[in-house]
């Protein structure tokens, strides 16, 4: 509860007239092999940024092993039918390019950036990795060993442990519950499993290529057709897992890390996908609650009380489901006090309409920062990919700001009542049991786990 | 290769404040930065971590914009803001829709003119900073490795060797008198540069700078302690215990040549040969070929942004079955190879193309779209404060592109010497001890 009177500034210059925000034109095509292509020109620097997405990620193959799409992506860049690992890396450097292959819950992707003058060899490399990855045995073994160390390290990071536990709690038997494999599961990965994921997922019908940068779109489209046109492959069959049950009632999950000098709090609940009609409303509600520096939660537990450095809330949209979460790494002796404030601010948004001036501030914030991404190639790429991957309407970027501005205090009250349900929030705390158990137990029943995921009580 | 010319204009106001304008109307967005030439290197002795704590205090209120108003006014104008403290500069920056430019300049000028903070603000931010140190260092595996571990091992001058995040006792000892004294000494217009980038016209930017900053009185020229190091003549080693992680790690740092010399340019490219991602020699030899390490990377941190003793550092996380000495021997073999064989013409050409590409990326770098032109702002600020030459942003590439194979080999021999290096071992606590604890 804010105890300090907020003073206002005097003599602040007003805002001058806004300049129109114009998103660059997108040139779209679907090649005859099914590959969707979106290009946009941005001439800020003589470079381009791109990403080749496949609409299948870890969730699509979770029945085989957790993290299998990610492991596949990792090994993709280590060798092709034509080039060994060392050659790939040197050839990328030769054209001034950066490249990464990775996968998330819903997509696998090859992202790349390089000098415009070398666009053709760069697209050639992306094409080669997408079609002719060789999965060399020795590289697979080496990457698997690296992965083993990586998954061990993750289990020593409070942020990872909190996120993993919350996803398990929220998504239960759904693939979204699995954020990372265990050491045993990594040890059981087989090269053939990766190759099958690659064969099934890395196909033009399953693909989306986005390129933003310093080029002429017509010329680039011809280049893309030339490089990717002869590729063929079907979309994999998609399986939709049964929807996860929405956990009812509060519960605390304590992950015990002996000797932790701070507690990572993560509180969350089910929310919505990007396509949901409430998306903009929930985005604005979140921004007011804890999604911005100037938000209520940050002002309360950081600027007023000094409990934490970086409190934040966010709405995380996955393709099939979404969730809302609030995180804060706090001093061990204020775990209960922080949770109290986290819920207080939710309940306040559910009970009292947001003052009009505060709403206007939040609307300005959300619509202003939305346009900051316009200024850079990677900012544009990220906005365009969000629209395309979530199958949002073509004018989503152009109309978003107006949608934000039409919302009223009542819309926010309704949204908070619908989604920020403090009575049904799931609470994860990662820290030293001896220091925090009694504080956590004040909120509801407690389950205690160790960092390996074994239940202690 | 296509070259990039950034249009910039600069001037100095009568109070000594330097002003740099870089117009670009691509997007209706403007980025404003104020850099002060003081970082954690030269913070007061007995007050480790103070420069960073002070940076937090700059958001706590100024004469006409009380606590919370800086953040509120920027966010509610549709913008983002932050600040950061590094070795030799501290920066404050905002990206906003360009219709909020005057408001941002007013806010930055207000806190350059007069800080208005109280004990409650200081206590609040001291608590916040302690949680920042816990979340980034004390409660993280390999927290502070090697950026906080290396200085006390590598350096002898307190300025370079102390704990930059701050010992908690020093943070506790800091009081309001320290805050005001630091402000008065270093936060004067003649020790700062104002940068306006993006949707602004040159004349407009300069006129607004004069309007809002012109009447802030100049201060005395700040005193700067001498940060130079005594000549190092033997290898230095240190150990730090790793509380959470299970992999042994080490960092090896070599002292760098003075900035903007031919040797410095050669070292920068040599750094790329060694640490340039997966094509770099360290990764290739230690991770891919010998498979001793799971990670071997590093380099020169913020090449353009430091103005005192610094290092090129390699960080290695190695498999437990290899000893530290065996790992170090493999590292030494990579260094020896480049000292004895140099690099070939093809490798040098690759390094230069990549260097240009990375430089352009730095200029455009906008922290994932949330802070457009952050990279250009940072370079312009450092070239202005350290060199009084913002136009270097358009010419500095030339020095790197002129580097020869011979210079790289010579730099390897001259600077990558054992007696010029420091090594920090970050050693996991044994599993058994951990159980007992």
Mean pLDDT across the stretch A255-265? 97
Those of residues 241-300 in B touching chain A at CB distance below 8 A are 243-247, 276-279, 284, 287-288, 291, 294
Cβ-based contacts under 8 A for chains A and B: 262
> Does the distance separating the beta carbons of B64 and A11 come in below 8 Å?
yes
Residue A319 reports pLDDT greater than 80: yes
Nearest Cα of chain A lies from the Cα of B221 at a distance, in angstroms, of 30
Distant-in-sequence, close-in-space partners of B317: CB < 8 Å, separation ≥ 6: A149, B247, B248, B249, B293, B294, B295, B296
Q: Which residues of A touch B24 (CB under 8 A)?
A: 44
Please list the ranges in chain B whose pLDDT falls under 50.
Answer: 432, 434-437
Tell whether B75 is within 8 A of chain A (Cβ).
yes
Under 8 Å between Cβ of B85 and B52: yes
Given a cut of 80, whether residue A202 has pLDDT beyond it is yes
Residue B412 at interface with chain A, using a CB cutoff of 8 Å: no
**Segment holding A361, helix H or strand E:** helix A356-372
Q: Residue B190 and residue B13: Cα distance in Å, rounded?
A: 9
User: Which residue does chain A place closest to B435, by CA atoms?
Assistant: A258
How would you classify the pairing of strands A322-330 and A426-431? unpaired
Q: Do B245 and A153 touch (CB under 8 A)?
A: yes
Name, in order, each residue with C-beta under 8 angstroms of B131's C-beta and a sequence gap of 6 or more: A262, A306, A307, A308, A309, A329, A330, A331
**Per-residue pLDDT tens over the stretch A39-54:** 999 998 999 999 999 9
**A121, A115, A59, A118: which is closest to A87 by C-alpha?**
A121
Give the Cβ contact number of residue A20 at 10 Å: 5
A45 closest CB neighbour out of B65, B72, B364: B364
Interface contact B243-A259, CB threshold 8 A: yes
Quickly list H helices, B114-157. Answer: 119-133, 150-154
Q: Starting from the edge strand earliest in sequence, which strands make up the sheet with B18-23, in order?
A: B9-12, B18-23, B192-198, B29-36, B90-97, B80-85
> Which residue in the block uniquely carries the two structure tokens 């079907």?
A234
* Best mutation target, B4, B25, B29, B346, to test chain A (most A CBs within 10 A): B29
Residues 135-164 of chain B with CB under 8 A from chain A are: 135, 138-141
Distance CA A121, CA A436 (A): 56
CA B269 centroid distance within chain? 19
CB contact under 8 A, B68 and A157: no
* pLDDT at res. A457: 87
Task: Supply the pLDDT for residue B368.
Answer: 67
Distance, CA of A306 to CA of A313 (rounded, Å): 17
What is the pLDDT at residue B434? 47
The residue written with tokens 């290769």 in the block is B1
CA B357 to CA B365: how far, in whole Å? 12
Interfacial B residues in 83-102 facing A (CB < 8 Å): 95-102
Strands (E), B233-357: 236-242, 249-255, 293-300, 311-318
Q: Do A307 and B131 touch (CB under 8 A)?
A: yes
Q: Check residue A321 and give its pLDDT.
A: 97
Which is more confident, A19 or B215? B215
Does B360 contact A310 at a Cβ distance shorter than 8 Å? no
Nearest CA-CA distance, residue A372 and chain B, Å: 6
Give the residue from chain A lying closest to B72, CA to CA: A294
Using the 8-state DSSP alphabet, how is residue A133 labeled? Answer: B
User: Which 194-233 residues of chain B touch chain A by CB within 8 A?
Assistant: 198-199
Q: Distance between CA atoms of B264 and B400, rounded to whole angstroms?
A: 9
Q: Which residues of B touch A384 (CB under 8 A)?
A: none
Nearest to A93 among B134, B244, B276 (CB): B276
Tell me the shortest Cα–Cα distance from B26 to chain A, in angstroms: 7
pLDDT tens per residue across span A374-390: 888 999 999 999 999 99
How far away is chain A from the Cα of B230, in angstroms, using its nearest Cα?
37
**Closest Cα in chain B, distance from residue A352 (Å):** 21
Distance from CA of A232 to the nearest CA of B (A): 30
Put simply, the answer to whether B246 touches A16 (Cβ < 8 Å) is no
Q: Are the CB atoms for A427 and A254 separated by under 8 Å?
A: no
Test the A interface: residue of B135, B141, B437 with most A CBs within 10 Å: B135
Contacts with A292 from chain B: Cβ below 8 Å: 75
Determine, for residues A15 and B65 on separate chains, whether the beta-carbon distance falls below 8 Å. Answer: no
Q: CB distance A19–B99 less than 8 Å?
A: yes
ipTM beyond cut 0.90: yes
Q: Select the residue of A89, A115, A364 nearest B77 (Cβ to Cβ).
A: A364
DSSP code per residue over B189-227: GGGEEEEEEES--HHHHHHHHHHHHTTSPP-PPPP----
Q: B171 with B126: CB under 8 angstroms?
A: yes
DSSP single-letter state for residue A80: B
Residue A2 has a pLDDT of 44
Q: From CA A167, how far away is CA A432, in angstroms rounded?
A: 21
Give the other-Cβ count within 10 Å of B370's Cβ.
Answer: 15
**Is B99's CB within 8 Å of A13's CB?**
no
Q: What is the mean pLDDT of chain A?
A: 96
Q: Which of B338, B336, B311, B323 is nearest to B252 (CA)?
A: B311
Contact B80 A369 (CB under 8 A): yes
Tens digit of each residue's pLDDT (9 = 90 or more) over B282-326: 999 999 999 999 999 999 999 999 999 999 999 999 999 999 999
Q: Which among A153, A367, A373 has the least Cβ separation from residue B141?
A: A153
Give the orientation angle of helix A279-286 with respect to helix A396-406, to 10 degrees. Answer: 60
- B354 Cα to chain A: minimum distance (Å): 4
With beta carbons under 8 A apart, name residues in chain B contacting A16: 99, 101-102
Asked whether the beta carbons of residue A96 and residue B356 sit closer than 8 angstroms, the reply is: yes
pTM: 0.96
Q: How far apart are CA B382 and CA B91, in angstroms?
A: 11
């Amino acid at each position: 509860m804010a105890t300090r009177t907020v003073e206002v500034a005097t003599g602040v210059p007003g805002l001058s007239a806004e300049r129109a925000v114009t998103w660059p034109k997108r040139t779209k095509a679907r090649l005859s092999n099914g590959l969707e292509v979106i290009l946009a020109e941005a001439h800020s620097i003589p470079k381009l940024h791109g990403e080749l997405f496949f609409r299948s990620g870890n969730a699509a193959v979770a029945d085989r092993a957790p993290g299998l799409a990610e492991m596949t992506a990792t090994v993709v860049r280590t060798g092709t039918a034509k080039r060994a690992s060392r050659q790939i890396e040197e050839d990328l450097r030769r054209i001034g390019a950066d490249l990464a292959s990775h996968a998330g819950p819903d997509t696998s992707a090859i992202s790349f950036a390089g000098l415009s003058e070398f666009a053709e060899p760069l697209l050639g490399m992306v094409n080669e990795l997408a079609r002719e990855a060789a999965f060399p045995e020795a590289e697979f073994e080496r990457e698997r060993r690296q992965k083993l160390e990586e998954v061990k390290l993750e289990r020593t990071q409070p942020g990872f442990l909190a996120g993993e536990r919350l996803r398990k709690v929220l998504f239960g038997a759904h693939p979204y519950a699995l954020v990372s494999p265990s050491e045993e599961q990594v040890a059981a990965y087989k090269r053939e499993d990766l190759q099958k994921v690659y064969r099934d997922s890395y196909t033009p019908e399953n693909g989306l290529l986005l390129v933003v940068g310093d080029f002429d779109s017509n010329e680039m489209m011809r280049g893309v057709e030339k490089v990717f046109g002869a590729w063929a492959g079907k979309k994999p069959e998609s399986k939709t897992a049964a929807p996860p049950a929405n956990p009812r009632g509060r519960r605390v999950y304590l992950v015990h890390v002996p000797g932790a000098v701070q507690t990572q709090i993560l509180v969350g609940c089910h929310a919505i996908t990007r396509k949901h009609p409430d998306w903009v409303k929930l985005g604005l509600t979140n921004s007011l609650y804890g999604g911005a520096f100037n938000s209520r939660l940050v002002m309360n537990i950081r600027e007023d009380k000094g409990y934490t450095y970086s409190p934040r809330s966010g709405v995380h949209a996955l393709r099939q489901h979404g969730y809302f979460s609030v995180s804060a790494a706090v001093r061990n002796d204020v775990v209960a006090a922080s949770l109290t404030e986290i819920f207080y601010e939710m309940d306040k948004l559910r009970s009292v309409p947001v003052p009009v001036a505060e709403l206007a501030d939040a609307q300005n914030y959300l619509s202003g920062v939305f346009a900051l991404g316009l200024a850079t190639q990677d900012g544009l790429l990220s906005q365009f990919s969000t629209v395309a991957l979530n199958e949002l309407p073509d004018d989503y970027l152009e109309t978003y700001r107006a949608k934000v501005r039409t919302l009223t205090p009542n819309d926010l009250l309704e949204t908070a009542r619908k989604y920020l349900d403090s009575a049904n929030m799931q609470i994860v705390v990662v820290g030293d049991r001896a220091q925090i158990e009694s504080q956590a137990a004040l909120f509801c029943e407690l389950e205690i786990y160790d960092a390996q995921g074994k239940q202690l009580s | 290769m296509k070259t990039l010319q950034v249009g910039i204009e600069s001037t100095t106001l009568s109070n000594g404040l330097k002003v740099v304008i870089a117009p670009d109307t691509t997007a209706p967005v403007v980025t404003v930065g104020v850099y002060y030439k003081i970082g954690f290197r030269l913070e007061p002795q007995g007050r480790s971590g103070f420069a960073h704590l002070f940076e937090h205090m700059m958001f706590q209120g100024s004469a006409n914009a009380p606590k919370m108003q800086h953040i509120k006014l920027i966010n509610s104008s549709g913008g983002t803001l932050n600040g950061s403290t590094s070795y030799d500069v501290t920066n404050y920056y905002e990206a906003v829709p360009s219709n909020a430019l005057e408001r941002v300049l007013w806010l930055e000028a207000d806190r350059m003119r007069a800080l208005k903070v109280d004990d409650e603000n200081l206590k609040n931010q001291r608590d916040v900073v302690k949680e920042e140190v816990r979340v980034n260092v004390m409660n993280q595996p390999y927290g502070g490795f090697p950026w906080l571990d290396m200085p006390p091992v590598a350096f002898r001058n307190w300025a370079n060797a102390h704990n930059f995040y701050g010992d908690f006792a020093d943070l506790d000892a800091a009081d309001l008198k320290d805050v005001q004294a630091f402000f008065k000494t270093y936060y004067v217009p003649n020790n700062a540069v104002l940068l306006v980038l993006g949707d602004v016209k040159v004349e407009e930017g300069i006129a607004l700078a004069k309007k809002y900053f012109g009447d802030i009185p100049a201060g005395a020229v700040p005193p700067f302690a001498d940060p130079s190091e005594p000549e190092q003549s033997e290898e230095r080693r240190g150990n730090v215990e790793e509380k959470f992680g299970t992999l042994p790690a080490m960092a090896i740092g070599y002292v760098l040549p003075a900035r903007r010399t031919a040797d410095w340019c050669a070292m920068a490219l040599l750094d790329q040969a060694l640490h340039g991602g997966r094509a770099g020699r360290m990764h290739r030899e230690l991770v891919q070929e010998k498979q001793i390490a799971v990670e071997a990377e590093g380099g020169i941190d913020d090449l353009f942004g430091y103005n005192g003793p610094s290092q090129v550092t390699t960080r290695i996380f190695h498999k437990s079955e290899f000893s530290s000495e065996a790992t170090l021997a493999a590292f030494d073999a990579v260094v020896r190879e480049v000292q004895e064989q140099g690099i070939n013409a093809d490798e040098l050409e690759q390094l230069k193309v990549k260097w240009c590409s990375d430089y352009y990326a730095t200029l455009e770098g906008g922290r994932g779209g949330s802070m457009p032109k952050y990279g250009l702002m940072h370079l312009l600020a450092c070239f202005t404060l350290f060199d009084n030459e913002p136009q270097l942003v358009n010419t500095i590439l030339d020095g790197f592109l002129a580097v020869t194979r011979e210079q790289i080999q010579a730099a390897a021999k001259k600077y990558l010497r054992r007696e010029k290096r420091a090594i920090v071992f970050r050693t996991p606590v044994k599993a058994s001890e951990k159980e007992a604890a």
